[in-house]
Amino acid sequence: MSRLHHSNIVSLEACYDTPKLVVLIMELVSGGELFQDIISRNEGYSERDAMQYTRQICSALAYLHSLGIAHRDLKPENLLLSDDKKSIKLTDFGFSKEVGDVLKTACGTAIYVAPEVISAATYDTSCDIWSAGVITYILLSAHIPFDGADEAEIFAKIQQAQYTFPSVLFGNVSEYAKDFIRKIFVVNPRKRMTAKQCLHHLWLDDKNMDKMNYVPFEPLFKQNILKFTESQLFKKETTNI
């Protein structure tokens, strides 16, 4: 981590070895988790906000991938906000790996994991892009794209890229945003957008700002984000019991 220097990545300030521990001193990031901030903010939250967050996520990934590093555990809990709440900070590199190594280990969190990781095939940095697509879908709808009664059903839908854009959730979302997600949820990782291509997509282009919905999402959106975060916390706690 010491060689990572990017405005959207939490930096490692120092590292010390002790007889029993390795002590990592990380950059102080006190803005809290991204989704918690969306829930607690007083002002409205719109597609434009989702776009700006997504662009920062893709910028961090483009930098990591240019160094040949896959994060492998991209999820909302690992997206923190800077003190001024304006910048995303990607953290938790416990599963990160250089793609020069053979990547075959199934890791990450079920609802964000890419098809190639589930199928136990070798994979590369493109697995992070799939996870970014899942987060983008949630940022726009407050729902997950691949849901099911159990993990097996969720994995089956992921492996077939079986998702929809329900009008009740995406009725006010631009076609640019939907196209962005479509080009990420591609089962074949070689045909999936790269982080660099994501940054050049029309949805993340400031020139198209006027084509986006600036109207804040309904208050129900924040309630659904809250339900989502609480359900994920519950699953995490029960898994640890």
Distance CA(50)–CA(119), nearest Å, equals: 30
Q: What is the largest CA-CA distance in the chain?
A: 58
User: What is the DSSP annotation of 53-89?
Assistant: HHHHHHHHHHHHHHTTEE-----GGGEEE-TTS-SEE
Residue 34 CA neighbour count, 13 Å, CB half: 27
Q: Environment class of residue 100 by beta-carbon count within 10 Å: exposed (0-12), middle (13-18) or buried (19+)?
A: exposed
What are the backbone dihedrals phi and psi of residue 69, each rounded to the nearest 5 degrees, phi first? -115, 130
Catalytic residue among 17, 37, 49, 73: 73
Active site residue 101: no
Tokens found for residue 117 = 């990781």
Residue 144 CA to its chain's centroid (Å): 12
Q: Which residues are catalytic?
A: 73
